[in-house]
Structure formats: structure tokens, C-alpha cells
Amino acid sequence: MTTRLQGIGVCAGIAFGKVHIVDRRRLTAPHYHVAPELRAKEVERFERAVFASEEQLKEFRARALEAGMPQVELLLGAHGMILRDHAFYDACKDRILKEGQNAEWALKDTTRGLKAAFDRLEQDYFRERRSDVDIVGDRVLRNLVGVETELLDHLSEDAVVVAYDLSPADMVSLAKYSARGFVTESGGRTSHTAILARALGVPSVVSATRIMQLAGSGDEIILDGGTGELLLRPSASMASRYRGRARRLRLEQKALLADRLLPAETSDGVRIELLGNIEVSGEVESVLLYGGQGIGLYRTEFLPIESPGVAGAEAHHAAYQRVVDAVGDRPLTIRTLDLGADKNLPFASPTGDLVPSWTPERGHPSNPALGLRAIRLSLRDEPLFREQLEGILLASATKRVRLLLPFVTAVEELRRSREIIAELSRKLESEGRPHDPNLPVGVMIETPAAAWIADLLAKEADFFAIGTNDLVQYVLATDRGNEEVAYLYRPCHPALLRILDSVCRAAAVHGRPVSICGEMAGDPFHSPLLVGLGLRSLSMTARAIPLVKRMIRKLSLAECQDFAKTALGLATAGEVEQALAESLRRWAPDLFGAD
Ligand code: PEP
Ligand code: MG
């Protein structure tokens, strides 16, 4: 009997194969009291297990580098740091020495306490970090009781790995003995499994509830990493339907990639710059592979994913330098931290606080989207902002880098940022450290206030980047993550069109370049509208680039401009969408023809 499950697709592609269960169930640990005179020996036993774990992680790090997976190597490094972290290492030793717990028991109690602290946090990113503690604890436990962690070295060619969770070490093995797909019960979009699966390009589904209960080793399985669908023991007709779908996907992908070096140019010769949005340095490669001409938005708030505990200007510089090196002489725009609201990742401030400043103890703001977010937080927590700005300045020494400020609502925010940048530039100058003293500073236009004062901002900012993800949510008063009001989240709403039009005009009056980097830029359905309204630079997720390029090559500027004029006169989002759909059926029948 076929079983159909729905998880979250985190890396597109269809995989067919046989289930290979990776059982990472916890070992049972013996619990006993240790007499005071034997406690020092017990601590030594614990230390030996930590040392052995460190050695194993070192080996995995070397394998990760060999396999060309720097992100995995960094994650394994983070696990090494947990091993020696005060909250882990010293806490275990204290439990042995002061409470007389045996090493396994001390280890279990310590990891349980740390995991519970993570569980109390609301954001997915933090909750998913509990699995790091789990993975590290499991490794030490296995070294204590002398049980090897199963290495995924013996996968059959058609293996689809099914697990409760997969550690970065597992993923290193899998990179060598390649699996066709990954399915895990746990994890979300920002889990390690998801991040690494994308980095490896392996079709994957996470959050597949009950898969470990329902799947047996050797079962036939089909997974769709785009839609998150899973079919266990599929019937022959289902399998053939999916094979057809997989074939079409492969052909489409091939055709799109074949065009990747063609210019993104309209039929009447207008060049449109297509850039990539990235969260971690490793993504630069995919942007270039998919034909991107550079990086239009580097979201630095995801930095702790590849540089856990990043702190200090030098550490920021090192992280940005990785991107600078990968991008070469192509354009690169680095956005300063957009922490707060939906993005809460752990950043250590030089003041000793974790930012954002709300924590479970201090309480959660009732309206985070309108709270202390992005540039507001940076200007409030200036020491951290200074570290980041100095890091970006240092990264500008060898190539032209642009600095982008998120969530600006007032000219003062731009002015204050510029003052700090000028101060830091003088400091670096006096220290003889090379950097670009004229680093271009731009602002995100993603709030109604910024859009309304675009003419004033244009006088003082070097460039604009329009962030429609937030702009739509704030202009239409519609939470971008709330499914119940998703029907109101319409980028084609006349209010948005008017705003895009007036922002482009304000930028043009002052000769400021303007780009767009919200999801709208990566949807070919919107391309004619954006080009017609005057946008010449679009930045998007890597995989969206080929299709948008294909779309652009079918358009003519004159038609797009006519269309934009008509669209600006329409009364509803529905009317604009319908007009777009009709025009696209004519201009790009292969992409938007009738079904
Ligand atoms: C946006 O708001 O459109 C944007 C690009 O920024 P983010 O999605 O990171 O908020
Ligand atoms: Mg935004």
C-alpha cells in the first residue's frame, strides 16, 4: 500500500530510490554515584571521551574540506567549540566532582539542561540549534561507552537516506558516498539538514512527520524536494507519473542552464542586470552557475550559520572577505544586519549582550515587525554595528563593495550611519589599513516612510534597493508570514505599483541606481511590469535567475513601458494580474500559455 506524506521541500529535484534508515537513537547511559575518592578518575574518563570526540571531529573537518564543503567544515568546527564550551565541558565536570554523578549521567543532565533552554526559545533557528547539543552529546556518550557512530560509508547507489535527524558529520560521509535524497523527521527551513542539502544540491524533504515509523529499510520511495511530497511504496502508475515529471524538470533545467551565459537583454537591446541574493558565502557559486552577474543582496544576519560566535571587526572582515574572493570583480552589495522581527540569530555584541535584545527572560515584543529591528537595532547597539561596518570597510580594500542599510524610515538613520562610517574610515586611515574611503552607502526602500521620502533619501544615499517582501507587508498592512491574510499579499496592488513608479522616478532625478531584491524580482510573471516601471537591476535567489533571464529576452522595452502605463491606471491587483497574464500569453506563450 502506498503511503503519501507531506513534509517541507528544502532542495528541489525528484529522487527515486530505496529507503536507507539511519538510526541515530540515543544510547542508554548507565547512572551511578561515584565515591569522592574516585571522582578525579571519572573526570579523566570524561576528558578522554571529549578528546576522542575532538579527534573524530578533526578528521571529519578534513574530510569536509577535501569534499569541497567549507560550510560543513565550519559547522563541525562549531561542534568542536561546544565540546570545550564552559556551559558544556565545565558543567559536566562540576556534576562529576561536586555531585558525584558518573560521566554518562553528568553528560545527559547537562545536555538535557542546555536543550531545554533552547526549547524555550520561540524562533525556529534557535530551536534547531538544540540538535547541535544533541549531536555533540551523543558523540561523547558513544566514546564513553565505546560504541562507534555508524558511518554512512556503505550506501547502495539508490539509497534515499531517511533519518530522524542528520548531523553535519553524516552529511560529510554522504557527500562521499552520495545519497540520492535526504528525508528527515525533524528540521525546518533553517535547519542544518536544509542548509547543507541545498549546498550539496541533493533533493531533500525535512519535517516529514512519522516517516521513521512508516518507512522500512529497502522500501521504494519517491521524494519531491520542490513540493515536499513523499511517496512510500509507490504503485507502478505513480512511479511512472513521477518519472515523467522528473524528466521534464531535468530537461527544463538543462535548457535553462544552457542559456546561462546569454545576456539578459530585451529584444530591443536593453540590458537588465540579474544578480543573486545570498545568505552564506557558499551560495555565490550557485549564483554564478545559474548565470548571475554578481551579488545584489548579501543578507549578513545569517552569518552565525557559517561563522558561529562571530565577533569583532576582524571576524566580520574574514567572513566578508570569503564572499569578496568568491565574487571576484563582479558587483557585491553587503547589507548590514537586519536582525529582529522574523530574523533572530545569535549575535554577540561587544557589550556582552546577545542581540536582538529580547530574550525569553526579557520578554517578546508584542509587535516585533514594528519594533527594534535592523538599522534601529544597529544604531541602538552601536558597538556591534561598528564592528560590522569596520569589517565591511576592510573588505572594500581590494574591490568595489556597496554597503546597504536595511529598514530605513528616516534620513537621520542614513546620516548617523554615514557619520560612523566616516569615523571608522578615518581610524583605519590613521592605522594605515587599506579600504575604500568612498564606500557607496545605499538604503533599502522597504517601508512606506522610505518610499514617501525617496526624493529626500536620494539626495544623500548613493543607491536604492527596493525590498518588496517588506514593502508589500507594510504598505498593505499584511503580515508576510501569515497564511490567513496571504490573499491580501499582492505585489500587483495599485498602491505598490504607484510606489515603485515614484521611487524609480525619484532615483532617476538624482541619478541614483535602483535595484529590486524582494521575491517579486525572481518571479518572471512580474518581469514586464518591473522593466516597464524603470527597473534595470533585479536581484533574486540563484535558482530563479535562468527563468527570469529567459523571460527578459522575450520582452521589448517599448511594450513593457506601454504595459506599465496601462497597469498604473488599473484599480485592483486582480485587474493588473489579469492584464499581465493576457500580455504574457502573447509575449511568452511557452512560459505562460494556457494550461
Ligand atoms: C525585502 O524585504 O524585500 C528584502 C529583500 O529583505 P528581507 O527579505 O531580507 O527582509
Ligand atoms: Mg526586508
For 3-24+151-234, CATH number out of 3.50.30.10, 3.40.50.720, 3.30.70.1090, 3.40.50.1820 equals 3.50.30.10
User: How many angstroms does the Cα of residue 101 sit away from the middle of ligand 1?
Assistant: 49
- For residues 107 and 53, give the distance between their C-alpha atoms in angstroms, rounded to a whole number: 13
Ligand nearest to the CA of 468: 1
What was the pLDDT predicted at 213?
86
Query: Residue 279 CA: which ligand is closest?
Result: 1
**3-class secondary structure, 164:** coil
Superfamily of domain 36-145: PtsI, HPr-binding domain (1.10.274.10)
State pLDDT tens for residues 358-403: 444 445 567 888 988 899 999 998 999 999 999 999 999 999 999 9
- Residue 356: is the preceding peptide bond cis (ω within 30°)? yes
Residue nearest to ligand 1 atom 8, measured at CA: 469
pLDDT score, position 490: 92
Residue 79 has a pLDDT of 83
Spatial neighbors of 292 by CB under 8 A, at least 6 apart, are 274, 275, 276, 542, 545
**Ligand 1 contact via 470 beta carbon (within 6 Å):** yes
The neighbour count for residue 434, using CB atoms within 10 Å, is: 12
554 ligand 1 Cβ < 6 A:
no
CA-to-CA separations, 454 to 415, 443, 460, 508, 562, in angstroms, rounded? 15, 10, 10, 11, 24
Ligand 1 near 338 CB (within 6 A): yes
Rounded distance from Cα 453 to ligand 2 centre (Å) = 18
Ligand 1 contact, 77 CB (< 6 A): no
Domain covering 274-590 in this structure, CATH number: 3.20.20.60
Indicate if 274-590 has the same CATH topology as 3-24+151-234.
no
What are the residue boundaries of the structural domains of the chain, listed by start?
3-24+151-234, 36-145, 274-590
Q: What is the distance in A from the centroid of ligand 2 to the CA of 98? A: 50
First to last CA, the chain: 32
* 3-state SS string for 379-441: HHCHHHHHHHHHHHHHHCCCCCCEEEECCCCCHHHHHHHHHHHHHHHHHHHHCCCCCCCCCCE
Q: Whose CA is nearest to atom 1 of ligand 1?
A: 467
Please identify every stretch of the chain with a pLDDT value under 70, giving residue numbers as ranges.
24-28, 67-69, 71, 120-130, 147-154, 168-169, 171-178, 188-193, 195-196, 198-199, 304-306, 308-309, 342-365, 481-483, 594-595
- d(CA 466, ligand 2 centre) in Å: 9
**How much is the pLDDT for 575?**
97
Q: Determine the atom of ligand 1 nearest the C-alpha atom of 518.
A: 3
| The model's pTM | 0.69
